[in-house]
Structure 1
Amino acid sequence: MVTTPVTNLTFEEYLTYDDGTGFHYELVDGRLELMNPPTIQHFLIVAFLDTALIAEIHRLSLPWLTFRETGVRTGKNKSRLTDLSVVTQEQAKELLNVSAVFETPPLLIVEVVSPDSIKRDYRHKRSEYAAVEVPEYWIIDPLEAKISVFLLEEGFYEETVFTADQKIVSRTFPELAIAPEQVLAAGKLD
């Protein structure tokens, strides 16, 4: 991750910022932080989860949507890019013709860890998502072969770690029946 020279952007300036490079940035305390492009493994895992969550949303006829690589405002001059978010249709309607940065907490956020995002996903995003009251946050960690599910309890996340063939327990999707080994296998091409 490289920090760009642009500093002291407001959240509103970030929403319309375009340096013409096509790169993706997060806004951290007014600074733009360049996000490295994801790996193919990362894309495959996110695609698998996106498909699984969409199927569950349709099965239950929920008024929810999933989005990849949307933003979430996490502070005055902070915005994080998520790998996958689940939001209500009402939240999506608010952003129909503007930058896809949610200012209200998604129902669920999923991040896939890469070697350069360990600290960001486990520490920074965890505390920022809790502060804006994202009720459920998943960290998919192919490096450690585990999935951590964080459920918001009285302003703090309670963590449960799932490995191998343990079924993931989700408050948002209580009937979802997938295990870490299925999710992580989706990131392999063999």
Structure 2
Amino acid sequence: MTAESIDPTARPWSPDPVRQRLANHTIEDVLALPDDAPRVELVDGVMVVVPSPTVGHQGIANLLWAWLHAHCPAHLTAGTALGVAVGANSTCEPDVLLFSPEVSQDNHYLMPHQVMLVVEVVSPSTRRRDRLEKPAVYADAGIPYFWRVEQNPVQVHAYKLTDGIYKEQATSADEFVVAEPFPIRLPIREITP
């Protein structure tokens, strides 16, 4: 076995600046990215590099996924960091989500009608996007439930889509309790790293 040589002139991938200004990237462009490209979301035709999560962020997301995976009913599947095609030229990658188990295992993106719940864990680098921008995008796409998880201390805010906007259902204290999308009694300590 021989080792491949490394090209010292190779540059890390970055979006084409002309196409970024034109805002004409598509989901197909994202699917065609090289393996070494960073994670991106597509916002109105512009590729936005998604920052790497912090250890605390990832810990909360993983613990929440594990809890949902263990407790969700058979008509739902828990996933992490899966793409959702929220428009022809827009995608999001929620931190955790619940979706229909009938989705093909080969899919790169879920369609909004296949998604029941999206969860965003708020980090300092994603505060504005997770609190303001993404909820509006998810609501426009018709996703029935949105949860926002704040850190330090861990707190879950649950929203239900009603008349095209998310209305708050519950906020956690020591325990997170909601009736939908299925009955949940989640002790916050179980998703606190």
Name the TM tier (shorter chain): 0.7 to 0.9
Quote the residue 1:172 is aligned against.
181
Q: Identity over the aligned pairs, expressed in percent?
A: 26
Q: Does 1:29 align with 2:37?
A: no
1:153 matched to 2:162? The reply is: yes
TM-score normalised according to structure 1 size: 0.82
Query: Residue 167 and residue 104 in structure 1: after superposition, are their counterparts in 2 closer, same or farther (change >3 A)?
Result: closer
TM-superposition CA deviations, 1:37-56 (whole Å, max 9, x none): 11111121111111111111
Kindly indicate whether the alpha-carbon contact (under 8 Å) linking 1:163 and 1:181 is maintained by their aligned counterparts in 2.
no
Contact 2:86 2:92 in 1 (8 A): yes
Q: Give ranges in structure 2 of 5+ residues lacking alignment.
A: 1-13
Contact 2:86 2:112 in 1 (8 A): no
Amino acid at match of 2:185: A
CA RMSD of aligned residues (A): 2.0
When residues 160 and 98 of structure 1 are mapped into structure 2, their CA distance, relative to the original with a 3 A threshold, is closer
- The reply on whether 1:81 has 2:93 as its aligned counterpart is yes
Alpha-carbon separation, structure 2, partners of 1:49 and 1:74: 23
> How far did residue 143 of structure 1 move?
4.2
Partner of 2:144 in structure 1?
A: 135
Match of 1:11 among 13, 23, 27: 27
Q: What is the number of equivalent residue pairs in this alignment?
A: 174
Alpha-carbon offset, residue 161 of structure 1: 4.7
Instruction: Give unmatched runs, 5+ long, in structure 1.
Output: none
Aligned counterparts of 2:37 and 2:45: Cα–Cα separation in 1? 19
Deviates more, 1:143-152 or 1:35-44: 143-152
CA deviation digits over 1:34-77, x for unaligned, max 9? 011111111211111111111112xx4x1321111101112221
> Which residue pairs with 2:111 in the alignment?
103
Contact 2:63 2:190 in 1 (8 A): no
The residue aligned with 1:51 is: 66
